Each structure stands twice: as structure tokens, then as C-alpha cells.
Structure 1
Amino acid sequence: MIQKINLNNILFLDIETVPQYDSFMGMDHETQKLWEQKTQYQRRDEVTAEDFYERAGIWAEFGKIICISVGYFTNKSDIRNFRVTSFWGDEAQILRDFSNLLNTHFNDSVHLLCGHNAKEFDIPFIARRMIINGVALPDKLNLFGKKPWEVPHLDTLELWKFGDYKHFTSLKLLTKVLGVPSPKDDIDGSEVARVFYIENDIDRIITYCEKDVIAVAQIFLRFRREDLLIEEEITHV
């Protein structure tokens, strides 16, 4: 039961991704053709591969990570503290820094990773981009040969499904129904590429990503029927 998990052993995470290039024309001809083939079943007939390129950030083969935000509890007795930090900049360095965090501070068998839809998106995306960038996979992301119950990952979407595999609930909707402050009060995922490539405002994206991490932690607390974090209990480092 999740009530028995020590909150200090969980690393909450969220990532922000964008297309690898600011436009379809940034890709070489072969990659353009591969993109067209990859997305042929997702696109409506009237939507060209070039027009669809704004969504390239959701595929690890055509996107890249521009920010990883993490949060973790450092509770002592009845005093709660939730620390939030982010990695951004060069993608390879982001991945190396995140891997170092896992290997240094979250590598024991009791440690767990947690995100919203993280098993389906964030964690596989990070692992794939690590391989593409030549970054060694930390143990927490190396799932080869592990049985499902041995995978050290929690997912608030999966917990909310209660075994209903047809059901998808966005982070925004789940925060709404659970009475958690919404992290989507500025931008949402569909706007990240524009803010990154056109506005060049990485700080705005980092803030957005960190709000998502806090929201995931708040949802987890609600699942445990515990009080939500207040602003004084959250530290940005």
C-alpha cells in the first residue's frame, strides 16, 4: 500500500520536450521521409508531415529533452519539506546530471521514481534519449530482464486507473477533481515548443515543469489522504 512507502524514498519527476529542430526543414531529407512514415497513421489526410512537425517532441527519435525537473521530500519527524530542482541546457548534460542524481542519491532498492504517465512517456523518453546521446543508463532506468513488480517506478495515472487500462486522465483534470492547485495556469505542453524556439524563454518552461512535479507530489499525498503541501513547505534549489 502506498501509505507504507516512505515519502523520502520517492523522486518525483517531469520532463519537457520539443522537436529537435525549430522547423521541419531543419531535418535532412532522409529524416524527413522517416518522419513522414512514422506519423502517417497519426496525421489526417489533409495534414502534411511538415505541418505535423510541431508535435515531433512527443517522439524520442525526433524530439529532445530541454528540461528535467525533480522533487523529493526531506521530512524529519512532523516537519515536511519538499525540495524542487531542475536540469536544463545542453540535452546530453541534462541527461548526465540526471543520471548522476539517480546514481548518487536514489540508487538503493527502496528508492522509487514517480510521475504522471511517466511509465508510458517520461521514463522511456529519458532512457531512449540517453542511448541516443551515449549516456549510460542508471540502474533505475535499466529495466531489461526485470519483472513488472521489480520495476522501481510509480505512476499517478496508473494508480488512478485502478486496473482500467482504457482510462486516461490528464494531470490537469486529476488536479481539478482532487482539489490540487493546477500547474497549468500559464502554459501547457502544446505551447512549450513555441516558448522555447520563438520566445527563447527557458525560465518560463522550467517554472512550468517544476509546477508539474509539485502537482504530482500533491496528487500522491491525496492518494494517501494526507494534507497538501503549503508554499512554506516547498523549497526551490
Structure 2
Amino acid sequence: MLHKINLEHILFLDIETVPLHESYQDLSEEMKYLWADKTRYQRKEEFSAEAFYERAGIWAEFGKIICISVGYFVLRGDSRSFRTKSFFGDEKELLIAFKHLLEAYYSRPHHLLCAHNGKEFDFPYIARRMIIHGISLPEKLNLFGKKPWEVAHLDTLDLWKFGDYKHYTSLKLMTAILGIPSPKDDIDGSQVREVYYEEKDIDRIILYCEKDTVAVAQILLRLRQEELLDEEEIISV
């Protein structure tokens, strides 16, 4: 079934997130309480709410998106290319721009969104942040009332599970075992907050995000038993 999907109908994506505020001290007293309450099971007694705040980017209620990178295949006869593009800057503006892309080019029923662990993280995170900003959801992210087979989402982690719902495999591990050049050659997710708030190097984060998007596309190619992309086939636009 996977082989029957036209690669040009898939929009690959990855997001990078950070805590909504640089410091725990920037939270209101109410939000400090809610943060402590939200994370009490994850923190247990090992971390205080303040010490744990550097991980706040994981939760859409306490984090924000700083970059969405997308990628798509262009097939012309025997030639193939994979083009990447990134949305970054003000969160509301980047979400609106991403929504416009979906509505303009990926609104048909056969169009699919694809990410690694996208069903558990990227897709719901984007939807939640849109709602928080008062942005109406594009059809591809509005799941209300849809049957499972009507949800136009592909998840490379989900595909790799083969029905084993207890299984989790990171993007880094999947690229390693499938013989795909690793995208984790500079920073990893745990360093994004530091690079964003302390180093203020958004370009480094964009590059990292785009590499992850390419890695997702490479994984799908391997799952389809097709040739991986060469460096010359990957174009940043």
C-alpha cells in the first residue's frame, strides 16, 4: 500500500520547539502553579518545577514553535529532487504561513502530511498552538469527527511499529539502522532551547530542522525499498 502513494502528494515536516519564556521566573504565579501540577509525575522528586522548566518546550501549553521545516518531492521523468523550506520567526506568523501552504497546495483528499512521531507530537502540537493563537485549523489538522482512515497523516515511527504500540524508535536510531546519513551531526533536540535563547542562532536551528525533514523523507524511501536521496537531489528553497 505504501508503494502506491505518489511521493509528490506528501508534505514532509519537522518542528522545533522551546519553552514559551526564556526563564521560569517569567511565568505568572498561576502558570508556575499549573506548570508544577502538569509535570509532577514526570519530575517526581528528582527536579523542582523551576529546574524542570528547561524541558517546557515539549508541552504545547508551555512551549512554542520556533521553526517548521517542510520538504516535498519533485518528480520529472527520470529526475528526482527533494526541496525544503522553513518557516521561522514570530510563532503566530509562521503558523499562518504554514496554514496558507497547506490550504494552497495540500488541501486535496489524497495529500498527506508525514513526520516522525508526528501523530504524537508534531501534528497535535501545531494544532494546539494554532488554537491558542486564534487561528482556525486547516483541514489536514482538523481531526474532529474524522474516522481513522480519513486522517491524512503518515508517521514513520508508526509505520516502523508494525502494530507494536509499545515500541518507540528515535529518528536518530532509525537513520542509523537503515543506513541513512545521520541528521544529528550538530545539535540535538535537548540543545535547541540553549541555541535559541542563549546563543540566539536561529539559522543553526533551521538547518537542524531541515536535516530532520530530509531524514524523514529518507526513512520513507527505505520503507518503500527505494533509493535514498543523494546530496545533489536535496535543494533548500
TM-score for both structures, normalised by structure 1: 0.99
Q: Give, in angstroms, the shift of residue 160 of structure 1.
A: 0.1
For structure 1, the residue ranges without an aligned partner over 5 or more in a row are: none
Q: Give, in angstroms, the shift of residue 78 of structure 1.
A: 1.2
2:211 aligned residue? 211
- Counterpart of 2:226, as a letter, is E
1:195 aligned residue? 195
- Counterpart of 1:144, as a letter, is F
- Counterpart of 1:157, as a letter, is L
2:228 aligned residue? 228
Could you say what secondary structure the match of 1:68 adopts? strand
Q: Deviations over 1:210-231 (max 9, x none)?
A: 0000000000000011100001
> 1:22-171 residue pairs with structure 2 within 5 A?
22-171=22-171
Q: Distance in 2 between matches of 1:167 and 1:77?
A: 38
Q: Give, in angstroms, the shift of residue 136 of structure 1.
A: 1.2
The number of residues matched between the two structures is 237
Q: Distance in 1 between matches of 2:131 and 2:46?
A: 35
1:8 aligned residue? 8
2:172 aligned residue? 172
Structure 1 runs (4+) greater than 2 angstroms displaced: none
Q: Distance in 2 between matches of 1:233 and 1:209?
A: 18
Q: Distance in 2 between matches of 1:211 and 1:225?
A: 21
Could you say what secondary structure the match of 1:85 adopts? strand
Q: Distance in 1 between matches of 2:95 and 2:66?
A: 10
Q: Give, in angstroms, the shift of residue 77 of structure 1.
A: 1.4
For structure 2, the residue ranges without an aligned partner over 5 or more in a row are: none
CA RMSD of aligned residues (A): 0.5
Q: Distance in 2 between matches of 1:44 and 1:228?
A: 43
- Counterpart of 1:27, as a letter, is L
Could you say what secondary structure the match of 2:75 adopts? coil
Q: Deviations over 1:187-231 (max 9, x none)?
A: 000000000000000000000000000000000000011100001
Identity of aligned residues (%): 67
Could you say what secondary structure the match of 2:187 adopts? coil
